[in-house]
Amino acid sequence: MKHLIDPMDLSLQEIDDLLDLADDVIANKEKYAKVCEGKKLATLFFEPSTRTRLSFEAAMMELGGNVLGFSSADSSSSTKGESVADTVKVVSCYADIIAMRHPKEGAPFLASLKSDSPIINAGDGGHNHPTQTLTDLLTIRREKGRLDHITIGFCGDLKFGRTVHSLIKALSRYEGIRFVMISPEELEIPEYLREEVFSDGKLTYEQVRTLDEVMPELDVLYMTRVQRERFFNEADYVRLKDTYILDMPKLKNAKPDLSILHPLPRVNEIAVEVDDDPRACYFRQALNGKYVRMALIMNMLEIA
Ligand code: CP
């Protein structure tokens, strides 16, 4: 049985096939409307979510399947002390596939060791978010027409942002990616990621402190929220939260075909005025998340 815990669980060919399938879903929605009839998806969310949980649920509904689950740990028996392992062992009796989010890094991996149904990591702490990565890759491919030879700037909280960590790992396998990290010193990418992706010297990255100094060079700008829930100290969060705010003056020197991505939710880091600029891709990105999750569910249930 196949689980999806880390973006590197998927080969480049498997990613290509999933993105091709997502493109076909977008072009031919009615073809897929009943393919999951009789199948059930469980969404076990021990941490808040809007996009990931609801797009998973919408994805399964649009495939003709059913959904069950919980949206917070408070409404599950984990409040009575039940372990993740027991929860998942039981839910895998009820559901054909499980999407799970948990604040503890590694919890979905632990779940995968106990589950009788495939587990999809829907975000574990500050670690990984592989289905957001598939969403991001689909968005970049649809917007730019390629996944190689791209200069991408990651801006904001690169320390705690799991979407950043997963996307850096995934993009590290494509040719000609230039990584530019834009963050304060306290929010630079974690040491483990530096070791995993950049330590052998085959790939490098540039670290800068301001958006302005790199804006004209970027093909993709990946903005992120400062992850308040992962800070140990509110004062540090308050000091760092508004370090980067993308507004129209900041875009003055950007390429005309820049693609602005953000996994969302946003707080202040992109001014609302940017939403109307054609370079703002983040709401299209959120929609792509539903289509790529439809592709993933079909793939993991061996329907397509
Ligand atoms: N991008 C993302 O994971 O959003 P949610 O936290 O709303 O699921």
- H/E run at residue 159: none
Kindly state if the Cβ of 224 falls inside 6 Å of ligand 1: no
Tens digits of per-residue pLDDT, 211-262? Answer: 999 999 999 999 999 988 888 789 888 888 989 999 999 999 999 999 999 9
Separation of alpha carbons 177 and 204, rounded Å: 9
Q: Which residues of the chain have pLDDT under 70?
A: none
Kindly state if the Cβ of 243 falls inside 6 Å of ligand 1: no
Kindly state if the Cβ of 263 falls inside 6 Å of ligand 1: yes
The pTM assigned to this predicted structure is 0.96
User: What is the reported pLDDT for 304?
Assistant: 77
User: What is the reported pLDDT for 214?
Assistant: 98
Distance 71 CA to ligand 1 centre (A): 12
Separation of alpha carbons 293 and 289, rounded Å: 6
Tens digits of per-residue pLDDT, 268-299? Answer: 999 999 999 999 999 999 999 999 999 999 99
Find the length of the chain: 304
Amino acid in position 48: P
Separation of alpha carbons 11 and 218, rounded Å: 27
* The 3-state secondary structure of 75-98, one letter per residue: HCHHHHCCCHHHHHHHHHHHCCEE
Which residues have a catalytic role annotated?
A: 51-52, 80, 101, 129
> Of the candidates 289, 284, 285, 280, which has an alpha carbon nearest to the alpha carbon of residue 247?
280
Torsion angle of alpha carbons 156, 253, 286, 47, nearest 10°?
Answer: 10
Name the DSSP class of 4.
B
